[in-house]
Amino acid sequence: MANEPLHIVLQIAGIVQLGMVLLVFISGRVTRKLDAVHILPPVHRQMYLAYSLYVAGTIAALGLFCTFFPEEISSEEGLGRAVAIFGAIFWTGRLVLQFRYDINSYLRKKWMRVGYQALTPVFLGLAVVYIVAAF
């Protein structure tokens, strides 16, 4: 296996992404997301929650692909390359959003601030892993 180190890094990235799915749900509780969307009209609330599940599902799918199919993702051809390009776009976009969100009012405790700031290198790392796998 010529890309053995990349395969291992992709598997680690997969496990990280699966852990992030848990963070999506934990962060929803910390930020009281359901309380905030409760005031929306029912159709907007349903759409917001559906989109949140789509994002969590996308992260879970990327995590599973990396964990179980690292050879295909690093193959630089076909569907594996498409997944790598999608992952690069997804995580680069999320990295940009990290600097755009105004979340300070939700970060009431030091551990919350530290945790949120720790996400920045994680998002950067995931973007880099996918970019390397794609090209």
Q: Which residues contact 27 (CB under 8 A, 6 or more apart)?
A: 33
Residue 28 has pLDDT above 80, yes or no: no
End-to-end CA separation in angstroms for the chain:
17
Alpha carbon distance 133, 101 (integer Å)? 28
Give the model confidence (pLDDT) of 70-97 as tens digits.
Answer: 999 999 889 999 999 999 999 999 999 9
pLDDT tops 60 at residue 1: no
Q: What is the number of structural domains in the chain?
A: 1
Cα atoms in the Cβ-side hemisphere of radius 13 Å centred on 61: 12
Whole-Å CA distances, 66 to 9, 33, 38, 131: 9, 29, 35, 13
In the DSSP assignment, the letter for residue 106 is G
Residue whose token pair is 């969307």: 37
- Which domain covers residue 128, as residue numbers? 4-134
Encoding tokens for residue 11?
A: 């598997």
